[in-house]
Chains A and B, each alone.
Chain A
Amino acid sequence: MDIVVHEADTDVAVLECSGRLNIVSAPTFRETVAQVVTGGRPKVVVELSTVEFMDSSGLGALVGCLKTARQAGGDLRIAAPSDQVEMVLKLSNMDKILRTYPDGDAAVSDWG
């Protein structure tokens, strides 16, 4: 998967992801979020509109990153999930844990 990090605000980062979030890419995803949080941006938006596939390994990575962000005083939000990602979020009930926004800007501006 490809991850482009946008430094949206002093403490907010938007990670624009594409490809697959699975057992192959989950470690890289976790490392990228950890670096962003350690670098001073604990409010993390994960933009998933062009992630064509996510599975339980990807869900596990999102949960791990949610904890990492919260431990640093921030949070993790989902933006623009693709149909496949939305299906997996709903099946796993994680749509109730991971706040989802229609796009990255909405997730960022909601932090004010």
Chain B
Amino acid sequence: MSATVGGHSLDLACPPDDVTAVHTFLASVWDAEPTVASEDRMALELALVELTSNVIEHGAGGNGVSCSLRLDVGADAVEADLTDDGVPVPIDPSDARLPDALAESGRGLALVQMVVDDLRYERVADRNRWTVRRSLTRG
């Protein structure tokens, strides 16, 4: 695992890394970006931990998965992308819907969609790439 807070990037090798590293990384990003409101922090942490959890759970073959998270905090919005070397994802994120109330899984992408303004998935050069954008709340 390696993290660069100035450039807001984090590289993970899972296992042994897991989403704990994403939580820790985001805490350091918010320390460096004090103008991001708590509502935006909560939304982005949820979105990025959900996406990373999906990558670790579904993208990992027998040898695990490596992924990179990059965050760009602008004046009006935060853009983030998560790339990984896992298997392709047969999913259209715009189809994500909440499952039945008593389902025990399947809520992740639907929640991500609710807390970001844009969510995209693409397969680029043998890697999966998830991109999210959230306009920042102005107090």
Contacts and interface: CB of A to CB of B under 8 A. Distances in A.
Interface string A45-83: 000000001011101110110110000000000000001
Given A24-B18, A88-B111, A53 B105 contact: no
B107 A22 contact: no
Contact of A92 (B19, B23, B107): B107
Contacts of B102: 63, 66-67, 97
A84 interface: yes
A22 B108 CA distance: 11
A4 interface: no
Contact of B49 (A53, A63, A66, A93): A53
A94 B103 CA distance: 11
B45 interface: yes
Interface residues of A, number: 25
A55 B111 contact: yes
Nearest to A59: B107
B46 A23 contact: no
22 contacts: A20-B23, A23-B53, A23-B57, A53-B49, A55-B46, A55-B50, A56-B50, A56-B107, A56-B111, A60-B103, A60-B104, A60-B105, A61-B104, A63-B103, A63-B104, A67-B102, A83-B38, A91-B115, A92-B107, A92-B111, A96-B101, A97-B101
Interface of A: 20, 22-24, 53, 55-57, 59-61, 63-64, 66-67, 83-84, 87-88, 91-94, 96-97
